[in-house]
Amino acid sequence: MSPSVATTSPASPAGEVGPGPTAVELRSVTKRYGSLLANDEISLSVRSGEIHVLVGENGAGKSTLMGILSGTVRPDGGSVLLHGEDVTGFSPREAIVKGVGMVHQHFRLVGAFTVAQNIALGFEPRTRFGLVDQKAARESTRAVSDRFRLALDPDAIVEEMSVGRQQRVEIVKTLMRQAQILIFDEPTAVLTEEESQSLFSILRDLRADGRAIIFITHKLREAMDLADTISVLRRGQLVATVDPATTSVAELGELMVGRTIGAVPRPAKPADADAPVLLAMRDVELQRRTTHAVPLSELTLEATGGEILSVLGVDGNGQQELVSVLTGIEAPDGGSITVNGHDLTGAGPAAFLNAGVGVVPADRHHEGLVLPMSIARNLILDRRHERRFLRRSGLLNGRAVTAYARAMIEKYDIRAAGPDQPVGSLSGGNQQKVVLARELERDISVLVAAHPTRGLDVGSIEYVHGKLMELGADGRAVVVVTSDLDEAMAISDVICVLYRGSIAGVVRPPFSRHEIGVLMGGK
């Protein structure tokens, strides 16, 4: 059973019309997956003209609950009411007809199509001859875009747009379906600070237009800034519904994880002026490979054993290109890269792995994991040749792989039903633990971690930071490529600021937010 819920009614900001009638009501909604109780008798309501923020750790049940509201998941118990009408168990198409629209964290767009083509997909306007009316699609797209100040060109090709603009396409697509109830699933996970603020302005316009907005996030500060009401989920239960005006980030964090969250303590490690340089880039040049790539210019950095080096910059300043060069995916057009004193310039990814470079990629879904495969198979993706995982015949020893996976699940606190569970069904934090387990259990001297906590909740961030610090304290070199200033300041021994493909400055403790911010802006 769910615990008692403390509920308050937030006041509307001065000068704004307050929320209207109840648009969404969930009554004792329950969903089980085998022995896992994903949603445990959850009851909450959302009003028209309200931004209702839903926070919780990865795996808390947020996405399952929103799946039930959007028709993609059928509940095992409870009721779903929209504007007073019981619609429990309706289909995704019925949900759209009833005015429910969902903007997913991982966009569902066709990159080669235009904005108008993506928005009209599945609901194409037709001419009197039955053909797709391209002109009508463009005009409708422009009308909705202009109304909510989204500034979209209907003829722009989606794959050539920034992530922030692609998200706007998803929003217009939802609004074109006449959605009055809008669900945003972790919408700022891949946005820059500027893009996030632009999105918040759009959401406030939609609220003023009378839409009911449910905003899923793990970022507590943005929840406090944006919400009229905040509901907190923990392990499938609704533990509180609160007014942001009467709570704090610290209190929300404690409600979310069930304990006090603080900065991860830095492991004690002696200063070592003679620590070896384990990874070095000297005057690396990388020409633009695609239209939107950022060239690297005269890029030099060193990572020594026992050190966490953060390469920090606003997204789009060459981070992706830097990681590609650091891991052997791209061969530089000039300069050199050495690992443990060995020149690996242009050697390729396999050579970097064999030289002891571990990689936590920026996109765990497309680069770090094979989502349909089991946890066990993902843990040995690049280690299948090891004797302990093979039979005498040379075939994979399933029993040995399963035993190893069970040990890793326990060691890294991966919350899963077992080794055979598809890794794609895990929460983001647990997926990242699988990636970390695979890389940290190899014999590595250098770890390159790209945006290692992007999309993770506060508890998972604390865990990942702890693992990175342990690795540094153990004498390995850790290179963290990030756009998160708070993250860089929390874990780094040295910060290199990346701006337009070059190092704008190198900063050492005590760190100054102002100094680093100025460097990030290219000043």
Q: What is the CATH number of the domain that holds 247?
A: 3.40.50.300
Among the candidates 380, 414, 441, a domain finishes at 441
361 preceded by cis ω (within 30°)?
A: no
Cα atoms in the Cβ-side hemisphere of radius 13 Å centred on 469:
20
Residues 248 and 273 in one domain: no
Confidence (pLDDT) at 10: 39
Confidence (pLDDT) at 195: 67
Confidence (pLDDT) at 284: 95
Residues 271 and 350 in one domain: yes
Residues 308 and 334 in one domain: yes
Residues 255 and 270 in one domain: no
Confidence (pLDDT) at 317: 85
Among the candidates 123, 150, 178, a domain finishes at 178
Confidence (pLDDT) at 224: 92
Residues 40 and 82 in one domain: yes
Confidence (pLDDT) at 102: 85
Cα distances (Å, whole numbers) of residue 436 to 4, 424, 452 = 37, 16, 9
Confidence (pLDDT) at 467: 92
Residues 190 and 314 in one domain: no
Residues 289 and 155 in one domain: no
Smallest Cα–Cα separation from 491: which of 266, 305, 219, 262?
266
E-assigned strand segments in 237-352: 237-242, 277-286, 296-304, 308-312, 334-339, 342-343
Residues 195 and 255 in one domain: yes
Residues 1 and 68 in one domain: yes
Number of domains present in the structure of the chain: 4
Tokens at 237, concatenated = 């239960």
Confidence (pLDDT) at 117: 86
Among the candidates 235, 261, 287, a domain finishes at 261
Low-confidence stretches of the chain (pLDDT beneath 50):
1-15
Within a domain: 344: yes
User: What is the phi-psi region of residue 338: left when phi exceeds 0, alpha when psi lies from -120 to 50, beta otherwise?
Assistant: beta
Domain span at residue 429 reads 368-441
Within a domain: 363: no
Residues 254 and 276 in one domain: no
Q: Which residue has the tokens 């695979």?
A: 438
Residues 483 and 499 in one domain: yes
Within a domain: 361: no
Residues 433 and 454 in one domain: no
Please state whether beta strands 229-234 and 50-56 pair in parallel, antiparallel, or not at all (unpaired): parallel
